[in-house]
């Protein structure tokens, strides 16, 4: 079956690849195919084969906001590499490949003397994933910076979509599920390195003080605004609750952490207990922020 992708230049294929190696949760079975794609031409070629054989597929960035099943993924997992990790700028507009890590983008912008995205400091994902989920912190979101997106749509056509044509909300965008974000234009502000470094240092300090450093997928539940998911979970006495090696963090209750050998089923069971307890005691329905692939 691996032969169907044979001859495509600009890719690296791995069969039965353990997904736990590619996620911050360190959880998940094997992907039937795990393909690293290094340019747009290769991506188009891979997607044509996927469409032809009607295969399941999934695009991942840094794997920081996802929980894979213990059974793995019976399809193709695509990781964007190469040109998808390039950053170019023309004045205050930065063209970032979807595979660029947030950390790399912030560092590059700072070196060029541009800021305005420091609120993203410490979020360990990729630019593409951040845009898809409208990532943010400290009262700001990445949608505030977006000029336009370059996507591969469901018909495998390359399209440029201006920011005003996309609906963004808290941890949400209406970018079609079967479109692939290839690059993003972000508008930054000219600032001194000293100011940018000061902001980054401040935000990192806040994160280090509040968030656990165990394996996790970041904040597990969306905040049911104006309430805090972490505070609700803590008030329900759930800090430290554990199933197997999956545990509600004692440092921050909105983190479900992997103590080392957690299974996806342990995380799911714990998630359901947390949701049920918060609903019963606080009459609030929590919604996962983490993408769960069963």
Buried/exposed code over 143-172 (b: 16+ C-beta within 10 A; e: otherwise): bebbebbbbbeeeeeeeebebeebebeebe
Token look-up 């790399």 returns 104
Token look-up 């440092």 returns 251
Question: pTM of this prediction?
Answer: 0.93
User: In this predicted structure, what is the pLDDT of residue 3?
Assistant: 84
Could you say which of 83, 216, 219, 249 is catalytic?
219
Say yes or no to pLDDT of 1 above 80: no
As a whole number, mean pLDDT of residues 37-49 equals 97
Concerning whether 289 is annotated as a catalytic residue, the answer is yes
Say yes or no to pLDDT of 248 above 80: yes
pLDDT digits (tens, 9 = 90+) for 131-168: 999 999 999 999 999 999 999 999 999 999 999 999 99
As a whole number, mean pLDDT of residues 74-96 equals 97
pLDDT digits (tens, 9 = 90+) for 46-66: 999 999 999 999 999 999 999
Could you say which of 85, 144, 147, 171 is catalytic?
171
Q: What is the mean pLDDT of the chain?
A: 96
Residues near 14 by Cβ (< 8 Å), separated by ≥ 6?
A: 31, 33, 34, 35, 36
Instruction: Band the pLDDT of 2: cuts 50, 70, 90.
Output: low
Concerning whether 187 is annotated as a catalytic residue, the answer is no
Instruction: Band the pLDDT of 6: cuts 50, 70, 90.
Output: confident
Concerning whether 250 is annotated as a catalytic residue, the answer is no
Backbone angles phi, psi at 214, to 5 degrees: -75, 170
Strands 140-141 and 189-190: what pairing? unpaired
């Amino acid at each position: 079956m691996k032969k169907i992708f044979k001859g495509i230049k600009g890719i690296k294929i791995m069969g039965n690849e353990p997904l736990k190696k590619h996620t911050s949760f360190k959880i998940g079975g094997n992907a039937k195919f795990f393909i690293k794609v290094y340019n747009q031409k290769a991506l188009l070629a891979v997607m044509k084969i996927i469409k032809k054989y009607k295969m399941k597929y999934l695009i991942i960035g840094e794997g920081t906001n996802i929980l894979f099943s213990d059974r793995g993924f019976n399809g193709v997992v695509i990781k964007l590499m190469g040109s998808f990790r390039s950053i170019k700028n023309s004045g205050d507009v930065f063209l970032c490949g979807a595979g660029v890590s947030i950390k790399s983008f912030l560092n590059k912008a700072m070196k060029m003397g541009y800021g305005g995205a420091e609120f993203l400091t410490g979020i360990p994902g990729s630019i593409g994933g951040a845009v898809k989920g409208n990532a943010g912190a400290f009262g700001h979101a990445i949608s505030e910076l977006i000029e336009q997106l370059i996507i591969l749509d469901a018909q495998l056509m390359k399209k440029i979509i201006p920011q005003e044509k996309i609906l963004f909300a808290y941890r949400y965008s209406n970018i079609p599920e079967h479109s692939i974000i290839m690059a993003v234009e972000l508008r930054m502000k000219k600032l001194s390195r000293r100011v940018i470094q000061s902001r980054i240092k401040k935000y990192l300090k806040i994160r280090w003080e509040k968030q656990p450093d165990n394996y996790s997928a970041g904040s597990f539940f969306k905040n049911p605004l104006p309430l805090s998911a972490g505070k609700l979970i803590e008030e329900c006495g759930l800090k430290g609750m554990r199933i197997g090696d999956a545990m509600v963090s004692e440092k921050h209750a909105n983190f479900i952490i992997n103590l080392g050998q957690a299974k996806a089923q342990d995380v799911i069971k714990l998630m359901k207990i947390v949701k049920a307890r918060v609903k019963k005691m606080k009459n609030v329905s929590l919604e996962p922020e983490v993408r769960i692939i069963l």
